[in-house]
């Protein structure tokens, strides 16, 4: 199940619940126009993906999106608007994927949590975050 997390008609995040693991083939979760593209792939033994390279394309990206893949545990995601005001929270658990697109966010680990984070680079710890 793919759920858009919205506030005032803006998509703050997309949460993909773990039942995507049952799908076969290539399944993109994101709109092709988003800065971050996320897909799940499930192919049988001996399936071939044709060798390829990616064309050099100049892309102009404003902001930083993040993708969290929950490997184990439970994570509470607290969402904030651009004025740093708390909006609401959502829970993610094992095998869920969270795509954070806009607004602020913070996290509370509710059960020991292992996750992978993916975001655009290059990344500068001192210049890319405003903590509040």
Phi, psi (deg, nearest 5) at residue 18? -60, -5
Interatomic CA distance for residues 105 and 20, integer angstroms? 24
Could you tell me if 112 and 94 are in contact, meaning their C-beta atoms sit under 8 angstroms apart? no
Residue 7 token pair = 């506030």
Look at residues 66, 39, 44, 78 and name the one whose alpha carbon lies nearest to residue 121. Answer: 66
Q: What is the pLDDT along the chain (132 residues), one digit of tens a residue?
A: 899 999 999 999 999 999 899 899 999 999 998 889 999 999 999 999 999 999 998 988 888 899 999 999 999 999 999 899 999 999 999 999 999 999 999 999 999 999 999 988 887 777 778 889
């Amino acid at each position: 199940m793919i759920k858009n997390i919205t506030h005032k008609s803006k998509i703050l995040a997309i949460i993909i619940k773990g039942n995507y693991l049952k799908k076969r083939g290539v399944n993109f979760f994101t709109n092709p126009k988003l800065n971050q593209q996320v897909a799940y792939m499930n192919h049988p033994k001996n399936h071939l993906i044709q060798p390829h390279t990616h064309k050099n394309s100049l892309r102009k990206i404003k902001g930083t999106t993040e993708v969290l893949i929950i490997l184990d545990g439970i994570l509470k995601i607290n969402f904030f608007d651009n004025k740093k005001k708390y909006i609401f929270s959502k829970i993610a658990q094992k095998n869920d994927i969270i795509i954070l697109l806009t607004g602020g966010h913070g996290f509370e680990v509710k059960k020991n949590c292992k996750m992978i984070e993916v975001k655009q680079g290059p990344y500068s710890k001192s210049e890319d975050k405003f903590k509040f």
